[in-house]
Each structure stands twice: as C-alpha cells, then as structure tokens.
Amino acid sequence: MTTELPRSLDGTGPDRLMSVVHRLVGGVEWLHRNSRRRTAPPSPVDRDIPLVISETRDEADGVRSLRLTRPGGGPLPAWQPGAHLDLLLPSGRKRQYSLCGRPGERSHYRIAVRRLADGAGGSREIHDELAEGDRVVARGPRNAFPFIGGRSYLFVAGGIGITPILPMVRTAMARGADWRLVYTGRSRASMPFLRELAELPAERVWIRPDTEFGIPAAGTELLAHAAEGAAVYACGPVPMITAVRLALPVSAAKGLHWERFSAPPIVDGREFTVELARSGRTVEVPADRTALEAVGEVLPDVAYSCRQGFCGTCHVPLLSGDVLRRSRARGDDLALCVDRGRGHLTVDL
C-alpha cells in the first residue's frame, strides 16, 4: 500500500480531500489486512477455447449478455463464482468478462457487457459488430475473485458489477448460507438481471437505484444489511468500493473481498519514460497516466485486460530500469497497467 498522495484535479498539488480519503483507506487496509484473504495470482491459462455466440440478449439499457457455446456443442471447462474469461474478439482486442451464468452449468458460458461509448472499443465491438453465430476465442476461465466458504454473506453490487456477484448469490443460496444482496445503480433501466433477481427471496434482496433515492448510497448504508460477522463481497465502481472499504470498520461485517471494474486511480504518479527496445522509440508517461495508456498511443494493439495489475495480460519483459511495483508481476516483468518507473525503463516491446 503506497503512502503517496493523489494530485488535485488541476494538477497543481496533492488533493487534500483525496489525501484524507487515501489515508483512511490505507488505515482500513491495515486494519483488515488479516481479514481479507490473500489470494495467489491466477495461474496462467494457455488453452484457447473457440466459441460461438449462440444467443444475445439485452439485459438493461446498454447491457447485452452473450451466451457462448462450443461450435460443435459439448461441455466447457468448469468454473467457480468470481471467475472470468479473457475474450479474444475478431478485431484482435482482448477483454475480460466475469462469468454470470449458473455455477455448474457447463453447456455454455454467459457474460454481460455494458457498452461504453468512450471506452477503448471492446464493448462497442461486441454491441455493434457481433451477432449470434459469430465466433470468438476465450482463454480461461480463471478466478481472481474467489468465493470462499462461509455461513453469512453480504453481497454488494454496483451496476455491471452484478456479474461476478450473481453466481456467488446462487451458490450461497444452494449452500443454505445466510445472505443478503444490495444492488445499486443509476436507475432500474440501467441495471441488468433485475428479472432474475426478482425470482430470489425478496426479503434478502435490496435494489437501490440512485433515481429512487436521490444520491448514491453511503458506505454505512450499503453495509447496514450485514449480519454480525458476515463476509462482504463487493463489485462495482471505484467510489462504491471506496465507500464500502471506509465503512467496514464501523459495520457488523467481518471481512471484505472486492473487485472493481475500472482501473485504480493513480496515486501520486511521477512521470517516467519507457523505451520500447524493438523500435527504439521512447514514450513519455505523464504523472497522471499509466504506461499502458502512453504506450497504447504508439502501439494501439498492446494487449491488456483487467487494467488492475492482476491478470498478467499486459506484462512485458523488463530489460532495465527501476520499477515501482504495484502489481503481481515478477521481478523481470513490467505490468504496463499499474507499475510505474523511476526515471527510465526499457522493455522488450
């Protein structure tokens, strides 16, 4: 956990509010270091699975689910709640999506994708260019957000963050565990899988759209539904995860497992340079951008997936330089998405 401070929005100095939040989050991290189970980095999964899109379905405004099957039928590799696929799209883009079907179902996988108009193009390709019958290739499944056995759970999902949470809820139900789900979003129309959730015990599910409450939920509000000693599993946007993390010490919950679906904020970034040895080009990485973003401007096809430092997709061999490690990359690799450099780095790219 770094102690460096975020910059203000105008870039003139440390942001005081974010500095306070950062210190509080740091405290929470320290307090709960032992309550959040450390997980080993996911093993590399090298197999490619050719898949066909056998069904698409609009699940909410801007959210489409894909049902993926083997072209000739047949069972797919097993998966556990929290698992994701790396999807290789026809354009060559690689994107990561949580499996959100029924655990144990191996005749097909289901993923759901929110269309991001200003994203890097993967979600637009899926929404605008892919249709039933089209082929994709998957790698995985692998699991960086494992669901651990317990007796009591609070699930907190924000928007498309419901995707890894949904199989966890079904598994908790099947195990006879005590569970609650809090599901937030901008509006009901934007929240996928509400129809499926309506089939679950209503007293255990709280749907909380901002449009019906006026403001986004506070962390204490989200955690108010936790039973004594409950394990919290949360997936959603950074502000929601931060709110939950800050409120955890004053809740009845015991531990927090979380996954955010956007890149983490850059905390007190310092500029550095990355030399791409194969072309001899040198890329400047500004204080407020990642190496992945900067390198992506000169190498648009540079591979990435999670943008959070855990999937390994963006790792490149480091030839020289001093790395500020913010990922699980090995010592001789650089995770372009989160690692930073001191001064000048040279990579084999």
Residue 96 CB, nearest approach to ligand FES (Å): 8
Q: Which is nearer to ligand FES, 98 or 327 (CB)?
A: 327
Select from 181, 305, 318, 347 the one that contacts ligand FES (CB under 6 A): 305
Residues 315 to 334: which contact ligand FES by CB under 6 A? 327
Q: Which is nearer to ligand FES, 44 or 280 (CB)?
A: 44
Q: Are 84 and 92 in contact (CB under 8 A)?
A: no
Residue 320 CB, nearest approach to ligand FES (Å): 20
Determine which helix (DSSP H) or strand (DSSP E) holds 62, and give its type and residue range. none
Which long-range contacts does 284-293 make (Cβ < 8 Å, 24+ apart)?
285/340, 285/341, 287/7, 287/11, 288/7, 288/11, 290/263, 290/266, 290/336, 290/337, 290/338, 291/334, 291/336, 291/337, 291/339, 291/340, 291/341, 291/345, 292/336, 292/337
The answer to whether 311 contacts ligand FES (rule: CB under 6 A) is yes
Select from 99, 241, 244, 314 the one that contacts ligand FES (CB under 6 A): 314
The answer to whether 98 contacts ligand FES (rule: CB under 6 A) is no
Select from 304, 316, 333, 349 the one that contacts ligand FES (CB under 6 A): 304
Select from 156, 253, 335, 347 the one that contacts ligand FES (CB under 6 A): 335
Q: Which is nearer to ligand FES, 86 or 125 (CB)?
A: 86
Q: List Cα–Cα distances, 172 to 35, 146, 169, 178, 256, in angstroms.
A: 20, 13, 5, 7, 16
Q: Which two tokens stand for residue 32?
A: 């709960």
C-alpha–C-alpha distance, residues 12 and 278, integer Å = 36
Give Rg (Cα) of the chain. 20
The answer to whether 261 contacts ligand FES (rule: CB under 6 A) is no
Name the segment binding ligand FES (CB under 6 A); options: 47-55, 124-132, 141-149, 311-319: 311-319
Q: Which two tokens stand for residue 79?
A: 């998966």
Alpha helices in 32-155 (DSSP H): 122-129
The answer to whether 313 contacts ligand FES (rule: CB under 6 A) is yes
Name the segment binding ligand FES (CB under 6 A); options: 38-46, 110-118, 244-252, 312-320: 312-320
Select from 6, 140, 185, 309 the one that contacts ligand FES (CB under 6 A): 309
Q: Are 89 and 113 in contact (CB under 8 A)?
A: no
The answer to whether 142 contacts ligand FES (rule: CB under 6 A) is no
Chain residues in the site for ligand FES (CB under 6 A): 304-307, 309-314, 327, 335, 337
